[in-house]
Amino acid sequence: MQVPEKDVLLKVENLKMYFPAAKSLFGKTTSCVKAVDNVSFEVEKGKTFGLVGESGCGKTTTGKCILRITNPTEGHIYYKGKDISRASKEEIKSIRREIQLIFQDPYGSLDPRQSAYSIIKEAVVTGKEKYTESEVAARVKELLEIVELLPEMGDRYPHEMSGGQRQRLGIARALACNPELIVCDEPVSALDVSIQAQVINLFQSLQERLGLTYVFIAHDLAVVRHIADVIGVMYLGHIVEIMDAAEIYSNPVHPYTRALLSAVPITDYYVEKSRKRILLEGEVPSPIHAPSGCPFHPRCAYATDVCKAEVPSLTDTGGGHLVACHLSKKN
């Protein structure tokens, strides 16, 4: 049987983002923070790629590079087949209409002096489409309806809204330009658990309705597992495992993914009781003095000499399940 060709909307290839940490007397960079180090993945059109990992692992920086908020040090970002990693300012302006960002903290990302109506209107008029005044009003009303906010909410200011309503407003603003790809940076982690579920459901229904593609960044594996089609696990600037979301509970391979999973509570009492929690020893190493070889080796219970010397490459262990671990390599 022939495998259908993937319709890849976004492809990230060997992406590196290094920030200078110290300079010599003559202005030469002497050490740097390797926030993102050789990251590669692709996102199919209409699907969700979940990027998960602890705080400081490089997820947000990867998102910022995709949006070209920061200029990558090395590597390529292909959007619709075109390399946008070195796009000019003018090109970035037009790309930003198609690739939007949803922030973790909707309160911090919304102008407190503007009503919800003005916030959405501002985004509508900066889009590609040219609207008349009455069309703008109709579009704002439509966007409020799409994110399940009542039309009268348009008169409210961000501080008069609940956390969930503010996040819906942030989503409406992101949708104003008819984007194809949305980078969602921890979009539900500041919300109550019950509201989280509602907002996640909204993301899913919008994806079905508008054919959106998401890069969904979160530290909570349970949330990512719920929304993502494919999951990439990041550790210290590296992607250590990429797999189908359906496989995450049944077939996690990398020792770090297994440790992360063991900390996710399971609702089944008996399964939960029989599970063994894998406790990671030590702190996440500094990205300024990243360990040699496998970045996870100082905390890995299975580390050998080869782990300390050689960086494991992301290797297909079967069916597109990619793992960066010397132990997982087929003999």
Residues that bind ligand SF4 (CB under 6 A): 254-255, 294, 296-297, 300, 302-303, 307, 312, 325-327
- By beta-carbon proximity to ligand SF4, the closer residue of 58 and 154 is 58
**Residue from 251, 252, 214 nearest 233 by CA:** 252
**Residue from 12, 28, 61 nearest 287 by CA:** 61
133-146 vs 163-175: helix crossing angle, rounded to 10: 130
**Rounded distance between C-alpha atoms, residue 53 and residue 217, angstroms:** 9
- By beta-carbon proximity to ligand SF4, the closer residue of 106 and 252 is 252
Q: Smallest distance from the beta carbon of 234 to ligand SF4, in angstroms?
A: 14
- By beta-carbon proximity to ligand SF4, the closer residue of 126 and 304 is 304
Q: Smallest distance from the beta carbon of 232 to ligand SF4, in angstroms?
A: 16
- By beta-carbon proximity to ligand SF4, the closer residue of 137 and 284 is 284
- By beta-carbon proximity to ligand SF4, the closer residue of 246 and 306 is 306
Q: Smallest distance from the beta carbon of 62 to ligand SF4, in angstroms?
A: 20
Q: Smallest distance from the beta carbon of 216 to ligand SF4, in angstroms?
A: 24
- By beta-carbon proximity to ligand SF4, the closer residue of 171 and 307 is 307
Q: Smallest distance from the beta carbon of 239 to ligand SF4, in angstroms?
A: 13
Q: Smallest distance from the beta carbon of 207 to ligand SF4, in angstroms?
A: 33
- By beta-carbon proximity to ligand SF4, the closer residue of 83 and 310 is 310
Q: Smallest distance from the beta carbon of 254 to ligand SF4, in angstroms?
A: 6
Tokens of 138: 């109709």
Residue in this structure with the two tokens 């390797």, named with its chain if needed: 34
- By beta-carbon proximity to ligand SF4, the closer residue of 110 and 314 is 314
Q: Smallest distance from the beta carbon of 221 to ligand SF4, in angstroms?
A: 17
* 93 neighbors 67 (Cβ within 8 angstroms): no
